[in-house]
Amino acid sequence: MFLAVSLPFLNEIVALFLVAVVIAFISYKIKLVPIIGFLFAGVLIGPNALGLVQDQELVDILAEIGIILLLFTIGIEFSLEKLNKIKSAIFVGGGLQVALTVASVVGIFILLNVDWKIGIYTGFLVALSSTAVILGLLSEQGKTDTPTGRLSLAVLIFQDFAIIAMVLLVPLLSGQSGSTTDILIVLGKAVLLVIGIVLLARKIVPWILDKVAQTRRQELFLLTVMAICFGTAALTNLADVSLALGAFLAGLVVSESHYSDHALSEIIPLKTIFNAVFFVSVGMLLDVRVVLEYPLLLLGVTSGILLLKFILSTFSLLVLGYPIRVAAASGIVLSQIGEFSFVLERAGRNAGLVPGGYGELGSQMFIAVSVFLMLLTPLFLSISPKVGELLSKTPLNRIGQKRNKDSDSESSVSLEDHVILVGYGPAGRNLAKIFMETNIPFVVLEMNPKSVSEMKEQGINAIYGDATRPHILEHASIESAKLCVIAINDLDANPRIIKVARYLNPTLQIIVRTRYLAQAEAMEQAGADTVVPEEMETTVRLFSSVLSAYMIPDQEIEQHIRELRAEDFQIMKGSIQEAHLMVLQGLDEEGLHTRAVLVREGSYAAGKTLAELKLRNEYEITVLTVQRGEKNTGNPAGSFTLEAGDRLVMVGLAGRFADAAEIFREEKPPVEFEEDF
């Protein structure tokens, strides 16, 4: 007999996720950033609109988990070494941005005859930017490690440290209890905690992850990573440091190990779910009635804060010697109010403080302005390069001529026209050796921690991670790769790797190793271009040994071997000529930018003429040959209509092939891809 258990919050969770799914789907269709959709969803279902969700406390708890996971993933993508390079931007740039913003707001309020204590409190609210929104968008667009991304992160890190002092100062500003000694004690605990976490990152955590990874148990690895994430966040909370900063520090701890990429791929699905809840929760705070009643006031305050933060953030980075192009791009990205301002606003409300000293109207205006600026953040990020370039053409370009070495240089050069080698067993080792001897760029994906450590010591570009995960393949720069060689014998994993890799880069040439000839068809159906069965080569070696024992001349043996190999390759759908094309075409220096691409059923290219695809005009890609069955058409005309099954040999830059991926991509993503995202 089953007991019916009533969950009072179940209906609200169902409403939250259903509306979020619908809004996210609409956002996807109209090509709107999902974060914007989630904010709108929150406004729609919140207590000030349809009222589908009333338990704000529950939503806040789920949102807090979302913030923790988001900041944890951002921390993993960075490292202590990278943060050390931008330490001046953190302490000088971030410190100036916060100090100047607070001082400016206080000055404005004094001119308006508002108490300076209210001015400081309101300045705190305005000074903070949205860590979750900015870093979420930067991560989504792959811009975390750009100059704009690094400088934005630097300022955001300082703001997260500053929130500690701000929360402690709120009672003092309201006249309630609190002392300088209390503040110093909390700040001292925070500094000691950060030092302890750095030591963990260098010594203990990498050792723990190495031992767990050696068990090859994915569920144990995931649990360990989650324990590190939430455990570190809990420790920072005990020291009265923000949970978000603790989560970021936890990510830094994991980033110091070889397993950071695999850890990131494991928690991405969880992060996606809870981040959606966070942005929905922010939208729920907005009272639509205030927007309708005070539209001009809302527009004026929003514009004023936007302009003030843009100018001050840009100036703070210019002081460090960054060029106006980079400083302005970062300044516009930071020109909004952050989620931790809501935490500070609640603390102020409990202490009797309200933004601007305007009572309930001040609180609602603050929320409305914050939500609108968050909604505009994707726009800020998209126009940030143009804003920087525009200001670089003015006399302001003379400021910051002393370029910081980190401002324009990327921490690492992205791979292009390279080979992704999956597996570092005997076959993988031999291939890696050949790649190094022939100067072919490559990266190895491997799940054996000892092999990864060995490759790191040898200077081989190696990533610890599961190649069936889209994130791991993306970290290997699959969008610009030329070849993917799957050198592992895993009947379950290989088709998944092939399907995900094929979807992420339709122009990729995939070569896979199998044990038996009978498995070749399944691999080809999954999307492999060339399948190399071990069974075939074993037969060849046995056949050669038998003939040699009977004193058959070497020339005759070689002839028989060629015939046998040709016959075996005919059993597969590919041909020996095709295999040679896929493996050898373009591996020399002059041909690195060639691709041999199959037109697949369901892709946009199937049924279109070359003129309609505009490969040459829009993507600077030239079609050299189209192979249809046994017939090859060289330099085909624009009127040539492609059919499913055609194979195109093209030449172009790796980045342009990545841009043209949608043309050759099958319309529906594989199930393996959907499971991760």
What is the DSSP secondary-structure string of 429-448? HHHHHHHHHTT--EEEEES-
Rounded-to-integer distance, Cα 26 and Cα 46, Å: 19
Q: Which residues contact 522 (CB under 8 A, 6 or more apart)?
A: 495
CA dihedral of residues 503, 508, 509, 510 (deg, nearest 10)? -40
User: Across the strands, what pairs with 512?
Assistant: 486, 531
Beta carbons of 23 and 37 less than 8 angstroms apart: yes
The beta strand positions in 382-438, using DSSP E, are: 419-422
Beta carbons of 277 and 59 less than 8 angstroms apart: yes
Tell me what pLDDT residue 277 has.
Answer: 76
Tell me what pLDDT residue 582 has.
Answer: 39
Beta carbons of 303 and 66 less than 8 angstroms apart: no
Q: Which residues contact 514 (CB under 8 A, 6 or more apart)?
A: 489, 494, 520, 523, 531, 532, 533, 534
Beta carbons of 622 and 650 less than 8 angstroms apart: yes
Both tokens of 156, joined, read: 């955001």
Q: Domain segments of the chain: what residues? A: 10-398, 419-584, 589-676
Rounded-to-integer distance, Cα 520 and Cα 514, Å: 7
Beta carbons of 160 and 95 less than 8 angstroms apart: no
Longest Cα pair distance anywhere in the chain, in angstroms? 107
Tell me what pLDDT residue 578 has.
Answer: 44
Q: Check residue 265 and give left, alpha or beta (phi > 0: left; psi -120 to 50: alpha).
A: alpha
Strand ranges across the sheet with 442-446? 462-464, 442-446, 419-422, 483-486, 509-514, 530-533
Q: Does the 10-398 domain belong in CATH 1.20.1530.20?
A: yes
**Number of neighbouring beta carbons within 10 Å of residue 614:** 14
| C-alpha 26: how far from chain center | 22
pTM above 0.85, yes or no: no
User: Across the strands, what pairs with 598?
Assistant: 647
Both tokens of 504, joined, read: 């992420």
Q: Which residue, 665, 509, 528, 473, is CA-closest to 594? A: 509
Rounded-to-integer distance, Cα 71 and Cα 492, Å: 33
Cα-Cα-Cα-Cα dihedral sign, residues 521, 522, 528, 533: negative
Rounded-to-integer distance, Cα 471 and Cα 479, Å: 12
Q: Which residue, 470, 447, 476, 521, is CA-closest to 670? A: 470
Using alpha carbons, list the distances in angstroms from residue 227 to 77, 220, 232, 491, 597. Answer: 18, 10, 8, 32, 44
Rounded-to-integer distance, Cα 447 and Cα 214, Å: 9
Beta carbons of 59 and 238 less than 8 angstroms apart: no
Specify the pairing of strand 530-533 against strand 509-514: parallel
Tell me what pLDDT residue 105 has.
Answer: 93
Rounded-to-integer distance, Cα 661 and Cα 281, Å: 36
Rounded-to-integer distance, Cα 393 and Cα 327, Å: 14
User: Residue 461 carries which side chain, given as an amino acid letter?
Assistant: N
User: Residue 354 carries which side chain, given as an amino acid letter?
Assistant: V
Beta carbons of 463 and 475 less than 8 angstroms apart: yes
Q: What are phi and psi of 352, to 5 degrees?
A: 90, 15
Residue matched to tokens 């607070």? 102
**Number of neighbouring beta carbons within 10 Å of residue 472:** 26
Q: Is 581 exposed, middle or buried (0-12, 13-18, 19+ CB in 10 A)?
A: buried
Tell me what pLDDT residue 579 has.
Answer: 38
Q: Does the 419-584 domain belong in CATH 1.25.40.320?
A: no
Using alpha carbons, list the distances in angstroms from residue 445 to 242, 260, 462, 486. Answer: 36, 13, 6, 10
Both tokens of 265, joined, read: 């791929």
Using alpha carbons, list the distances in angstroms from residue 34 to 21, 104, 322, 596. Answer: 10, 34, 32, 35
Tell me what pLDDT residue 417 has.
Answer: 81
What is the DSSP secondary-structure string of 431-492? HHHHHHHTT--EEEEES-HHHHHHHHHTT--EEES-TTSHHHHHHTTGGG-SEEEE----TT
Using alpha carbons, list the distances in angstroms from residue 48 to 44, 56, 500, 618. Answer: 8, 12, 43, 48
- Averaged over successive runs of 10 residues, the pLDDT of the chain (677 residues) comes to 54 76 77 74 78 71 72 70 75 92 93 88 90 76 74 86 74 65 68 72 75 79 81 73 70 74 72 74 78 88 93 90 85 86 75 79 85 86 86 72 40 67 84 80 85 86 84 86 85 84 88 75 81 64 58 69 56 39 40 75 88 86 86 87 88 82 76 47
What is the DSSP secondary-structure string of 16-60? HHHHHHHHHHHHHHTT--HHHHHHHHHHHHSTTTT-----HHHHH
Beta carbons of 514 and 489 less than 8 angstroms apart: yes
Rounded-to-integer distance, Cα 604 and Cα 617, Å: 17
Tell me what pLDDT residue 675 has.
Answer: 45
Q: Which residue, 526, 486, 522, 527, is CA-closest to 506? A: 527
Structural element, H or E, at residue 634: strand 631-634
User: What top-level class would CATH report for the domain 589-676?
Assistant: alpha beta
**Number of neighbouring beta carbons within 10 Å of residue 255:** 24
515: helix, strand or coil? coil
Specify the pairing of strand 631-634 against strand 530-533: unpaired
Using alpha carbons, list the distances in angstroms from residue 604 to 224, 601, 641. Answer: 43, 9, 12
Q: Which residues contact 505 (CB under 8 A, 6 or more apart)?
A: 478, 479, 480, 481, 657, 658, 661
